[in-house]
Amino acid sequence: MTIPHADRVLHALIETGRLERLSAAASDGEHHLASARAVLASAQRELHHNPETAYVLAYDAARRAAAGVLAQHGLRARGGAHHVTTAEAVVALHGSPYEYLDTMRARRNQMEYPLMPGAGPDYEEGEEALRWAASIVEAAAQEMPAIERYPRF
């Protein structure tokens, strides 16, 4: 599913240098998806021992899956805000459940650069992050085979 305003959003991201086009050979997102699945499995193993690490890994799995979707479209985020760009682009292209990606990114940043010590997630928040990440990885796995490789962007 492509959101109606996706072309406008993606062209603006390309024009500002936040997204770049990939060659046809580089536009295979399967390796990103395989990596996302492996990182998600690590996050699931870590949840009971360290919810903060599980959250960070869950976010990374979701981001890798989203990067795979973009690669399948022949696109890659670039620059200093590439995580934000990845989220913005994949939401423009596919909508839900990718909206969780930017929420997870912002929370991960709070953990990485805390304003107050001990502000990490508890078990329930880590578990929620795993559900969000799993839904993103699953959506990417379902959508990627139907994405036209190296399309119009």
C-alpha angle 134-107-140 in degrees, rounded to nearest 5: 25
Instruction: Give the pLDDT band of residue 152 (cuts 50, 70, 90).
Output: low
Q: Which DSSP state fits 74? A: T
Q: Which domains does the chain have, with CATH numbers?
A: 6-146 (1.20.120.330)
In angstroms, rounded to a whole number, what is the distance separating the alpha carbons of residues 131 and 122?
Answer: 15
Contact 128, 52 (CB under 8 A): no
In angstroms, rounded to a whole number, what is the distance separating the alpha carbons of residues 45 and 103?
Answer: 22
In angstroms, rounded to a whole number, what is the distance separating the alpha carbons of residues 89 and 59?
Answer: 16
Instruction: Give the pLDDT band of residue 90 (cuts 50, 70, 90).
Output: very high
pTM higher than the cut 0.85: yes
- Distance (Å) of CA 70 to CA 42, 51, 115, 140: 23, 28, 33, 10
The tens digit of pLDDT for each residue in 29-74 reads 999 999 999 999 999 999 999 999 999 999 999 999 999 999 999 9
- Residues linked to residue 76 through DSSP beta bridges, in sequence order: 20
